[in-house]
């Protein structure tokens, strides 16, 4: 059996008492011993998270934009250099096979960051004959996510580059010095808070991680990330959707599906038809009691199954909540439903997808 891939930061994390789990061939930190304290650092201070396993693709060639667009449902035509765009990657059946971000370095140079490792093959299959090349740079591009209300202040103390004007979903196309090492800096994250992501050289990752830690950033793992990302309504592949089986409309990704544009992507005609009346919506459920439902638990109206819980969790600020795919006619805020839990059902109230920050103002702050 092939051993799981360890991050370049795994040794130093292990020295700090990290717990680990294996998922899809990668080793992830679960916690440094206090998930709720780690959660609080994201929400009220500053935290660092290792996102080594994120798949990073360097896409080049004069047809790079056209090729990427073939399976990316958001519109790339208006993307400026230094700008990032999030959206679903779709197949010929208009189903999501992944979701991720596209970063524009130039007309012939992009980064694409995905969950799955098959993006290069999918790009090649969707863009035959085009001048484009995708190279997986995951091992060369460790990502350190710096998240929380104090993230900008911390990073500003470690660089002479003014970060005040780096807007949400933008990045600096040239590396800058952070804590004495060159790194790309991205104004992105997976927390629902003000945040940045840093990409140093692999050999510099430990120095950058430990410097951030020693300057007040709390190390966190998946246990804390699960709480903050569910509160923020952020999705995970193979959890909130099954690749190749789920429509992006089922996840309420309407704003990232460029049906009204001239963008040419697979499944567009079917997605245009779905846009008029999506059968399902993606929402948060506030669930009464203290029992967390199982993944995939049924959501009911009376005896009728009207939805599925995809990401149930208990958080310090909201108690038991869960992301859920719900039938559209029952997805309005305040609707009372029930969720199957151990021993019966629990009352559940439909709420905003991002229950933490419905207008998503904090990441833009």
Give the whole-angstrom CA distance, residue 125 versus residue 67. 10
Which token pair is 294? 């199982």
**Residue 179 sits in the same domain as residue 322:** no
Residue 158, in any domain of the structure: yes
Residue 74, in any domain of the structure: no
Residue 305, in any domain of the structure: yes
**Residue 223 sits in the same domain as residue 346:** no
CB 28 within 8 A of CB 221: yes
**Residue 222 sits in the same domain as residue 300:** no
**Residue 215 sits in the same domain as residue 347:** no
Listed residues 212, 230, 248: the one ending a domain = 230
Give the whole-angstrom CA distance, residue 365 versus residue 361. 6
**Residue 214 sits in the same domain as residue 294:** no
CATH number at residue 156: 3.30.1360.120
**Residue 206 sits in the same domain as residue 288:** no
**N-to-C CA span, the chain:** 46
DSSP 186-244: ES--SSSSSEEEEEE-GGGHHHHHHHHHHTTPEE--HHHHHHHHHHTT---BTTTB-TT
Q: Say whether 114 sits in a helix, a strand or coil.
A: strand
- Strands 336-341 and 344-351, how do they pair? antiparallel
Residue 252, in any domain of the structure: no
Range of the domain at 360: 279-365
Listed residues 190, 209, 230: the one ending a domain = 230
Residue 62, in any domain of the structure: no
Predicted confidence pLDDT, tens digits, the chain (365 residues): 789 999 999 999 999 999 999 999 999 999 999 999 999 999 999 999 999 999 999 999 999 999 999 999 999 999 999 999 999 999 999 999 999 999 999 999 999 999 999 999 999 999 999 999 999 999 999 999 999 999 999 999 999 999 999 999 999 999 999 999 999 999 999 999 999 999 999 999 999 999 999 999 999 999 999 999 999 999 999 999 999 999 999 999 999 999 999 999 999 999 999 999 999 999 999 999 999 999 999 999 999 999 999 999 999 999 999 999 999 999 999 999 999 999 999 999 999 999 999 999 999 99
Give the whole-angstrom CA distance, residue 57 versus residue 305. 40
Eight-state DSSP code of residue 255: G
CB 244 within 8 A of CB 53: no
Give the whole-angstrom CA distance, residue 271 versus residue 97. 14
**Residue 45 sits in the same domain as residue 150:** yes
Question: Residue 170's closest CA among 200, 197, 131?
Answer: 197
Residue 266, in any domain of the structure: no
CB 192 within 8 A of CB 231: yes
CATH number at residue 338: 2.40.30.110
**Residue 286 sits in the same domain as residue 217:** no
CB 346 within 8 A of CB 289: yes
Listed residues 230, 265, 287: the one ending a domain = 230
Count the helices and strands in the chain (H runs, E runs): 8, 19
Angle at Cα 84 formed by Cα 82 and Cα 85, nearest 5°?
Answer: 150
Residue 359, in any domain of the structure: yes
CB 117 within 8 A of CB 25: no
Residue 284, in any domain of the structure: yes
**Residue 292 sits in the same domain as residue 149:** no
Eight-state DSSP code of residue 171: B
**Residue 201 sits in the same domain as residue 327:** no
How many domains does one find in the chain? 2
**Residue 222 sits in the same domain as residue 324:** no
| pTM of the predicted protein model | 0.98
**Residue 307 sits in the same domain as residue 364:** yes
Place of tokens 């990401």: 311
């Amino acid at each position: 059996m092939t051993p799981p891939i360890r991050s370049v930061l795994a040794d130093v994390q292990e020295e700090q008492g990290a717990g680990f789990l294996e998922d899809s061939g990668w080793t992830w930190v679960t916690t440094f011993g206090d998930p709720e304290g780690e959660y609080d650092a994201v929400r009220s201070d500053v935290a660092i998270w290792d996102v080594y396993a994120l798949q990073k693709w360097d896409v080049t060639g004069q047809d790079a934009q056209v090729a990427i667009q073939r399976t990316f449902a958001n519109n790339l035509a208006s993307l400026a250099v230094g700008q990032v765009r999030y959206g679903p990657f779709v197949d010929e059946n208009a189903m999501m096979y992944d979701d991720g971000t596209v970063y524009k370095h130039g007309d012939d140079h992009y980064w694409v960051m995905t969950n799955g490792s098959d993006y290069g093959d999918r790009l090649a299959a969707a863009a035959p004959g085009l001048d484009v090349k995708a190279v997986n740079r995951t091992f060369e591009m460790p990502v350190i996510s710096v998240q929380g209300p104090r993230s900008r202040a911390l990073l500003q103390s470690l660089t002479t580059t003014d970060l005040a004007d780096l807007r949400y979903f933008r990045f600096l196309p040239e590396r800058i010095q952070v804590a004495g090492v060159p790194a790309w800096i991205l104004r992105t994250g997976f927390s629902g808070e003000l945040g940045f992501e840093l990409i140093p050289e692999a050999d510099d990752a430990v120095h950058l991680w430990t410097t951030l830690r020693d300057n007040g950033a709390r190390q966190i793992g998946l246990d804390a990330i699960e709480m903050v990302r569910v509160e923020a309504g952020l999705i995970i592949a193979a959890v909130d959707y099954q690749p190749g089986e789920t429509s992006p409309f089922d996840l309420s990704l309407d704003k990232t599906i460029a049906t009204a544009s001239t963008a040419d992507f697979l499944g567009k005609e079917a997605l245009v038809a779905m846009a008029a009346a999506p059968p399902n919506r993606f929402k948060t459920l506030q669930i009464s009691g203290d029992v967390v439902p199982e993944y995939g638990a049924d959501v009911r109206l009376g005896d009728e199954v009207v939805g599925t819980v995809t990401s149930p969790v208990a958080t310090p600020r909201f108690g038991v909540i869960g992301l859920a795919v719900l039938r559209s006619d029952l997805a309005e805020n305040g609707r009372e439903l029930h969720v199957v839990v151990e021993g019966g059902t629990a009352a559940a109230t439909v709420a905003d997808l991002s229950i933490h920050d419905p207008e998503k103002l904090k990441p833009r702050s």
